[in-house]
Amino acid sequence: MTRVHDMGGRFGDGPVSPEAEDAPVFAEDWHARALAVTLACGALGQWNIDTSRHARERLSPKDYTRFSYYEKWISGLADLLVEKGVLTRDDLEGKGAAGLHALAERALKAENVAAALAKGGPADRAGGPAPLFHPGQAVRTRIPGDNTLVAGGHTRLPQYAVGAQGYILRLHGTHVLPDSSAHGLGEAPEPLYAVRFHASTLWAHAEHPEDEVVLDLWQSYLEPL
Amino acid sequence: MPHDHSDHPHALLPPDPALRVKALETILTEKGLIDPAALEEIIDTYQNRIGPQNGARVVARAWSDPEFRAALLADADPVLAELGYYGRQGEHMVVVENTLQQHNMVVCTLCSCYPWPLLGIPPGWYKSDAYRARAVREPRKVLAEFGVTLPPETAVRVWDSTAEVRYLVLPMRPEGTESLGEDELAALVTRDSMIGTGLAKVPS
């Protein structure tokens, strides 16, 4: 299975064009508005970060490819607002009901922005299964790499690392599993590891024999060797 | 609407992206779901208050204070929290140190994960298809596009940010900076050097 956002290792994209260090944070005013509207809607509490990532990934491959970065954000947001029942399709067409929304009392106020951003949303959890792997241990990522709970669902195991042998570098703790959390199936926290892979096990033409790629991977993505 | 290739609800909004944002913002504001003043506050925060100057201060301190550096590399979260550099998209930080033997470089191939409290909003190139696709497969060619060439004895370790852990690169301290204080050192620390696509500036 391939998914359009899972582009690590892809060929054909051409050179990277770095902007100057002092380039504006937002190249266009609407970029800033898209970011702010997205963060403010998140504060309504109708979804989590995994849900919102998945909403962008579910754009059709044609839309994902042709949309610029913040177009993906605002379009994913519109889709999510309708899917979660916050807005209707009529609302998006300007034909919806007038008046305050039932969730209006939860709207993020200016005076609460600093506290909300500073609070963040930690992903580590108490409990969950005990760690099965220790630093230095050889592991292999599972095949196939798809979400095992939902066909075509959200996962954070990139295709380029599926079925590859790597080595546990460190245990980060026990973190919410996006494959479950993105689909409203609960947080299902699991041990999360940084796993290092030799570039030469991932790529047929690695640039240097000593180069490595490290990925953060959940325990259920991994099998012992 | 023929402009969009799907029946997703977003196709009901105007196709022009600036107008699409404006339309959604207007609908949400009329329903009381977003507060325009809160939007201004969010934008001001990331445009003016939270940015790579935060990360640069951390790096300069790590260059100047061996105990701080050791604590930062061992367990960054409590060290950064004490400095007030905690928050959204920086809840779980790991700092990785560049040496002659190993150069670290950070990417998010699946989306655009980035340590906001220390570096702010990611630059356009970090979110580009070209960087996301190529940084893991040919980091040295990508580095060359940033004007960086590493010696052959330096291995590259690319960190693909696939979870909620965020990575900050501690660049190597430039030679000839022994007499500089933290403020002067911080001025040498570029955003790209903390992503790993650049090196710290050499004092002129």
Instruction: Establish if B85 touches chain A: CB-CB under 8 angstroms.
Output: no
What number is the ipTM of this complex?
A: 0.97
CA distance B28 to chain A (A): 9
The answer to whether the CB atoms of B10 and A79 lie below 8 A apart is: yes
The answer to whether the CB atoms of B25 and A33 lie below 8 A apart is: yes
Active site residues of B: 108, 111-113
Q: What is the pTM of this model?
A: 0.97
Q: What confidence tens digit (pLDDT) does each residue in A160-182 have?
A: 999 999 999 999 999 999 999 99
CB-CB: which of B121, B127, B137 is closest to A25? Answer: B121
Q: What confidence tens digit (pLDDT) does each residue in B40-62 have?
A: 999 999 999 999 999 999 999 99
B204 band by pLDDT with thresholds 50, 70 and 90? confident
- A2 contacts: CB under 8 Å, gap ≥ 6: A159
Round to whole Å and give the CA distance between B63 and A68: 38
Q: Is residue A154's pLDDT more than 50?
A: yes
The answer to whether the CB atoms of A92 and B9 lie below 8 A apart is: yes
Q: What confidence tens digit (pLDDT) does each residue in A101-117 have?
A: 999 999 999 999 999 99
Q: What confidence tens digit (pLDDT) does each residue in B96-123 have?
A: 999 999 999 999 999 999 999 999 999 9
Radius of gyration for the alpha carbons in chain B, expressed in angstroms and rounded: 20
Q: What confidence tens digit (pLDDT) does each residue in B25-41 have?
A: 999 999 999 999 999 99
Round to whole Å and give the CA distance between B107 and A93: 38
Q: What confidence tens digit (pLDDT) does each residue in A130-139 have?
A: 999 999 999 9
Radius of gyration for the alpha carbons in chain A, expressed in angstroms and rounded: 20
- What percent of chain A has a predicted confidence (pLDDT) above 70? 100
Q: What confidence tens digit (pLDDT) does each residue in A27-83 have?
A: 999 999 999 999 999 999 999 999 999 999 999 999 999 999 999 999 999 999 999
Domain residue spans of chain B: 16-47, 51-195
Nearest-CA residue of chain A relative to B145? A16
Q: CATH top-level class for B51-195?
A: alpha beta
Name the average pLDDT for chain B.
96
Instruction: Establish if B61 touches chain A: CB-CB under 8 angstroms.
Output: no
Neighbours of B16 (CB within 10 A): 13
Amino acid, single-letter form, for residue A119: K
Q: Are the C-beta atoms of A169 and A193 separated by less than 8 Å?
A: yes
B6 band by pLDDT with thresholds 50, 70 and 90? low
Beta strand pairing call for B155-160 and B102-107: parallel
Report CA-CA distances (Å) from B90 to A68, A125, B53, B104, B196.
25, 16, 15, 18, 17
CB-CB: which of A56, A121, A217 is closest to B162? Answer: A217
Q: What confidence tens digit (pLDDT) does each residue in B62-84 have?
A: 999 999 999 999 999 999 999 99
The mean pLDDT value for B155-166 works out to: 98
Cis peptide before B52 (omega within 30 of 0): no
Nearest-CA residue of chain B relative to A14? B130
Instruction: Establish if B74 touches chain A: CB-CB under 8 angstroms.
Output: no
CA distance A225 to chain B (A): 22
**How confident is the model at residue B2, as a pLDDT?**
42
Nearest-CA residue of chain B relative to A178? B163
A212 band by pLDDT with thresholds 50, 70 and 90? very high
Q: Is residue B139's pLDDT more than 60?
A: yes
Nearest to A81 by CA among B42, A105, A90: A90
**How confident is the model at residue B82, as a pLDDT?**
96
Name the average pLDDT for chain A.
97
Q: Which residues of A touch B124 (CB under 8 A)?
A: 19, 23, 27, 69
The answer to whether the CB atoms of A113 and B164 lie below 8 A apart is: no
**β-strand partners of B169:** B96
B1 band by pLDDT with thresholds 50, 70 and 90? very low
